[in-house]
RNA sequence: GGAGAGGUGGCUGAGCGGUUGAAGGCGCUGGUUUCGAAAACCAGUUAAGGCGAAAGUCUUACGAGGGUUCGAAUCCCUCCCUCUCCGCCA
């Protein structure tokens, strides 16, 4: 890992005594991680193509050679260990039956030598296996066969569009003009507190944000049947390995200086990892959770491009929905999950479209992603308010999420899915811009009014 | 943060240097019995990985990591977590 180039305070954090999140413990190595190595051995061409479709060039032969060497050393050290164990048993017997001290000492010496050999062999194996693991953890999830091929966002496919762009008898304003004028969004004072890329909400703006969070959660728990969670916003960095943010995207989130804790970039991290290392029973599935959390993102390298206002901020609120499900139904579940996110936009009366991301634009951990983009009348652009993905067994492997298909059966990796439903700032943007009136006030959609004490219109609250 | 007590299989709970991957109990699975059920009895019941077509076999795991030893659940060190008391605090 090249750590020198990372900004201070960023993962890996600076405490010298801390465990390195990528130095897996023996217990963690015992679990299968990352991609399915057995599958890679059997069908390297599949992976070559899959990674190629994503624009990643991978030395598959090198991986296979390394894997073969690791297994060779493993076999060797294990048979040496077996000999040591045999020898130890006969020493015990000899000692018990009062055999000659000389014979026992000779046997001990032989066992010691075998033990040293086994240890040396195994140390080599551990080092090579760690190298292999480090490389495998950087490889993206192969895309689902349904994903359209393409190099970048230009190849994404618009699969649905709902509603129509609102029309105005006046020139609609952007949220970064509307909000401050109404006294409900304060960029300047947020920058004073935390620098650029932060936003403060005030009065009806703050309450509108809270109303959206409450309403989203109520719809998911009440209508869609999710279980609500309230989870930690700081997690150990190995959880970020579980969901795939680490090791590759270490520069994209905030870390603590003295503790192995990072601020979550999305609720996906704590919620998906909630059952990490567990074996669930088939009848428990699908597990469906929803959670509201703030999300913290450094957005390194994103400054300046279409980031005016609060379309891209370092801290924002989001309601997330997460499924742990079976491989048989995960494809269908992705559509259900996407539907749950879409429902919210429809009930808010916001014009939006659905994108099916192409192979080159699909996120590192995802196998298949739909983005929901809401229309921003003030800037005449589409804003991503949700990303709905199935990860196949990719995260399940990394996080150790398994289930038992039938009683007494072998545990197998389950499938994980998640989606934003929805991300707050861009919903606020779309609401303010879509429902703005000629006098600069903003109407409130009917579904939200009960959450705002009956407020139907936000006027100036300067 | 300080002091003490602990962390063993799905659960409970023994073991405190050598057939202990782990007694006993509970639960679970299959069988016997029964018209059926309960009870009783018998048998089985952790996971990961290597080799193997399979049967099987070997390795590893008693919170985690390291050490002592021919051999560690058992002894030593470090760390983590839980509980109790004290301190502090929303």
Write the DSSP string, A400-459.
T-EEESSTTPPEEE-EEEEEEEEEHHHHHHHHHHHTB-TTS-EE--GGGGGGGTT--EE-
- Asked if residue A171 has pLDDT above 90, the reply is yes
Domain extent at residue A86: 31-136
Between CA A397 and C1' B60 the distance (Å) reads 20
**Residue A13 confidence (pLDDT):** 41
Please state, in angstroms and rounded to a whole number, the distance separating the CA atoms of residues A287 and A283: 10
Protein residues with beta carbon less than 7 Å from any atom of strand B? A 25-27, 30-32, 37-38, 71, 74-75, 78-79, 81-82, 84-89, 91-92, 95, 108, 111-112, 115, 279, 402, 407-408, 410-411
Among A301, A356, A364, A334, CA closest to A54: A364
Residue nearest to nucleotide B30 (CA to C1'): A408
**Residues A338 and A434 both lie in one domain:** yes
Digit-coded pLDDT (tens) for A96-150 = 666 566 777 788 888 888 888 888 888 888 888 888 888 888 999 999 999 999 9
Kindly tell me if the per-residue pLDDT of A8 is higher than 80. no
Domain end call among A83, A111, A136:
A136
Q: Same domain, yes or no, for A173 and A59?
A: no
Among all protein residues, pick the one whose CA is nearest to the C1' atom of B45.
Answer: A408
Residues A273 and A308 in one domain: yes
Give the pLDDT of residue A15. 39
pLDDT at A3 (0 to 100)? 31
E strand segments, A46-171 = 157-162
ipTM confidence = 0.84
Segment A11-50, tens digit of pLDDT: 444 333 444 444 555 555 445 467 788 889 888 999 999 9
Domain end among A84, A110, A136: A136
Q: Are residues A73 and A220 in the same domain?
A: no
Provide the number of structural domains found in chain A.
2
Is the pLDDT assigned to residue A208 strictly greater than 90?
A: yes
CA of A411 to C1' of B42 (A): 29
Lowest-pLDDT range of A87-101, A303-317, A351-365: A87-101
Same domain assignment for residues A379 and A454: yes
| Residues of A marked as catalytic | 297, 312, 384, 387, 426
> Are A37 and A101 part of one and the same domain?
yes
What pLDDT is stored for residue A285 in this prediction? Answer: 87
Q: Identify whether A237 is part of a domain.
A: no
């Amino acid at each position: 890992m090249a750590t020198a180039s990372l900004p201070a305070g960023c993962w890996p954090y600076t405490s010298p005594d801390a465990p390195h999140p990528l130095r897996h413990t023996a217990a963690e190595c015992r679990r299968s991680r990352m991609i399915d190595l057995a599958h890679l051995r059997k069908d390297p061409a599949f992976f070559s193509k899959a990674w190629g479709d994503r624009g990643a060039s991978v030395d598959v032969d090198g991986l296979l050679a390394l894997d073969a060497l690791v297994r060779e050393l493993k076999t060797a050290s294990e048979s040496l260990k077996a000999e040591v164990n045999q020898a130890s048993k006969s020493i015990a017997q000899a000692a018990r039956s009062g055999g000659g001290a000389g014979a026992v000492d000779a046997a001990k010496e032989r066992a010691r030598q075998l033990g040293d050999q086994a240890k040396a062999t195994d140390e080599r194996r551990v080092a090579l296996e760690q190298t292999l693991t480090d490389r495998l953890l950087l490889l993206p999830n192969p895309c689902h066969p349904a994903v359209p091929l393409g190099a970048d966002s230009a190849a994404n496919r618009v699969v649905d569009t709902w509603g129509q762009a609102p029309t105005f008898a006046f020139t609609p304003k952007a949220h970064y003009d509307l909000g401050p004028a109404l006294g409900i969004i304060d960029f300047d004072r947020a920058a004073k507190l935390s620098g650029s890329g932060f936003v403060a909400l005030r009065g009806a703006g703050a309450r509108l944000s809270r109303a959206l969070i409450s309403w989203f959660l109520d719809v998911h728990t009440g209508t869609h049947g999710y279980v609500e969670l309230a989870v930690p916003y700081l997690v150990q960095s190995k959880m970020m390995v579980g969901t795939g943010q680490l090791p590759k995207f270490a520069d994209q989130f905030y870390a603590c200086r003295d503790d192995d804790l990072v601020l979550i970039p999305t609720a996906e991290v704590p919620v998906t990892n909630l059952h990490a290392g567990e074996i669930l029973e088939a009848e428990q599935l699908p597990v469906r959770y929803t959670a509201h959390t703030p999300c913290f993102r450094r957005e390194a390298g994103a400054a300046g491009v279409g980031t005016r206002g609060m379309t891209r901020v370092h801290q924002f609120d989001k309601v997330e929905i997460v499924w742990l499900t079976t491989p048989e139904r995960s494809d269908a579940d992705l559509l259900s999950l996407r539907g749950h996110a879409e429902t919210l936009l429809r009930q808010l009366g916001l014009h939006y479209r659905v994108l099916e991301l192409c192979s080159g634009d699909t996120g590192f951990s995802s196998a298949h992603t739909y983005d929901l983009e809401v229309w921003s009348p003030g800037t005449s652009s589409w804003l991503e308010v949700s990303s709905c993905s199935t990860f196949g067994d990719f995260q399940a492997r990394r996080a150790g999420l398994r289930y038992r298909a039938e009683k007494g059966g072998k545990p197998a990796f389950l499938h994980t899915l998640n989606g934003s439903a929805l991300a707050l700032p861009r919903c606020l943007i779309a609401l303010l811009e879509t429902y703005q009136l000629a006098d600069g006030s903003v109407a409130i959609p009917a579904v939200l009014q009960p959450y705002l004490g009956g407020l139907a219109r936000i006027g100036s609250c300067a």
